[in-house]
Amino acid sequence: MYIYKPDYLVMTAGPTMVSGNVLQARAKAFGNPDLDPDFFTFYQSVCDKLKIFFGTEKAQMIIMNGEGMLALDAACASLTEKGDEVLVISNGVFGEGFKDLILQYGGNVTIYESDWKSGLSASKLEEFLKSKSNFKFATIVHCDTPSGVLNDIGPICNLLKSKGILTVVDTVAAVGGTELKVDEWNIDIALGGSQKVFSAPSGLSLLSISDDAWDAIENRTTPIPSFYCNLSYWKNCVEEMLFPYTMPASDIMGLNAALGNLLSERPNRVIERHEEMRDYTIERLKDMGIELYLNDSFSPTVTAFLVPEGYDAQEIINHMKNKYKILIANSYGPLKNKVLRIGHMGENARFDRVMFTLDNLEKTLCDLKRG
């Protein structure tokens, strides 16, 4: 019988390594989440913990059963009506990817394209909006992992709100590892996943939904063309004690333990730890003579760098994995094979792991040069 037993350190931009107490929380017996009133109390308590990381008291948090892509698809399905004008703000692979999600629901997409090597600028976007601003909503990526850019989304979301444009923010690879202030920044829908900074296994989508977003969803003139991606089923699910489907109690028990770990450490300290790991990673890469992909706006969760001249991206990855038992990642789209990435998020944003990774990247470059 085939046994799957990986023996390497996962230093990618998610999923991350998972703590033992999180794995054990998933290994406990659980009740029937459809029928047990205690489960609804538990679910709400986990949502309340999430609110701390999302920086919101006003928004509603929901936890859906599916990978982070479900959150993105559900937000687009629930907001977009045929013919709606939607602004896709893009400075990376994932930023651009929102286009297809919106087109499939009949939205008219305008792409605001910005330099992939730098963070988004609110003032430049403001210029752009002078020519056209009749958008129902805009999509923005907080940390676009293929390049490791961290966008300063606060001023951007507040600007959009001032123009009456709803915001959908993909913060899957950022929330927890950097500041997120859903209320202060007026973010309408923020999207997270379990397997990034929270360092729980993949499988849960985490969404904050503002009153304005609920209004937009409830004031649609056409029905939401989906069951699984239909956010409207979630609005009153705790009060009515009726989820749209059987909730993954075991996965949520794991997430609860993962959030507990970060709360014990204190969320502000967790962010500091991520910044320290980013700074350390950048410094070490520079010391090795490696060129970073970005000019500015380096995310504290992942660092992208150019494949040094004379090396092959996949060869570096394979050598790291096979000889040193560390998995780092290639990039996506046009950056594939040109850019490599080290994830330092969640449980991987630890000095020992990051140092071990960089030490062995250095050895790898040396090994491959000799070979």
Which candidate, 329, 275, 325, places its Cα nearest to that of 307? Answer: 329
154 binds its own copies (CB under 8 A): no
Distance CA 319, CA 326 (A): 9
Instruction: Describe the chain by its helix, strand, coil percentages, rounded to 5.
Output: 40, 15, 40
Q: Which of 128, 228, 280, 356 binds its own copies (CB under 8 A)?
A: 228
- Diameter of the chain by CA atoms? 66
Q: Which amino acid is at 277?
A: M
Query: Which of 50, 216, 253, 354 is the binder for its own copies (CB under 8 A)?
Result: 253
User: Smallest gap, in angstroms, from Cβ of residue 282 to its own copies?
Assistant: 23
**Pick 43 or 298: Cβ nearer its own copies:** 43
Query: Which amino acid does the sequence have at 167?
Result: T
Q: Is 299 an interacting residue with respect to its own copies (CB under 8 A)?
A: no
Here the tokens at position 14 are 């998610």
Residue 128 in tokens:
């752009």
What's the Cα-to-Cα distance from 106 to each of 86, 214, 231, rounded to whole Å?
10, 20, 18
Q: Which of 146, 201, 300, 346 binds its own copies (CB under 8 A)?
A: 201
Binding part of the chain for its own copies, among 9-17, 177-185, 209-217, 353-361 by CB under 8 A, reads 9-17
| Direct distance between the N- and C-terminal alpha carbons of the chain, in angstroms, rounded to an integer | 36
Q: Torsions phi, psi of 119, nearest 5? A: -70, 160
Q: Interface with its own copies includes 247 (CB under 8 A)?
A: yes
Is 147 or 348 the residue whose CB approaches its own copies more closely? 348
Distance in Å, CB of 17 to its own copies, minimum: 7
Q: Does 202 bind its own copies (CB under 8 A)?
A: yes
Q: Are 142 and 169 in contact (CB under 8 A)?
A: yes
221 touches its own copies (CB under 8 A): no
Q: Which is nearer to its own copies, 127 or 218 (CB)?
A: 218
Site for its own copies contains 261 (CB under 8 A): no
* Closest distance of CB 130 from its own copies, Å: 32
Nearest distance, CB of residue 6 and its own copies, angstroms: 3
52 lies in the site for its own copies, by CB under 8 A: no
Q: Does 77 bind its own copies (CB under 8 A)?
A: yes
Task: Choose the binding region for its own copies from 67-75, 149-157, 163-171, 296-304 (rule: CB under 8 A).
Answer: 67-75
- Kindly tell me which residue out of 73, 96, 170, 347 binds its own copies, with binding defined by CB under 8 A: 73
Query: Which of 54, 105, 137, 198 touches its own copies (CB under 8 A)?
Result: 105
Bridge partner residues of 89 (DSSP):
112
* Whole-angstrom distance, CA of residue 2 vs CA of residue 265: 39
Structure-token pair, residue 157: 């979301």
3-state secondary structure of 49: helix
Is the Cβ of residue 225 or residue 308 nearer to its own copies in the bound state? 225
Single out the residue of 123, 127, 221, 223 in contact with its own copies (rule: CB under 8 A). Answer: 223
- Does 23 contact its own copies by CB under 8 A? yes
User: Is residue 248 a contact point for its own copies (CB under 8 A)?
Assistant: yes
In three-state secondary structure terms, 42 is helix
List helix spans (H) across the chain.
Answer: 20-25, 37-54, 68-79, 93-103, 122-131, 153-162, 211-218, 249-265, 267-287, 313-324, 351-370
If one asks whether residue 39 binds its own copies (CB under 8 A), the answer comes out as yes
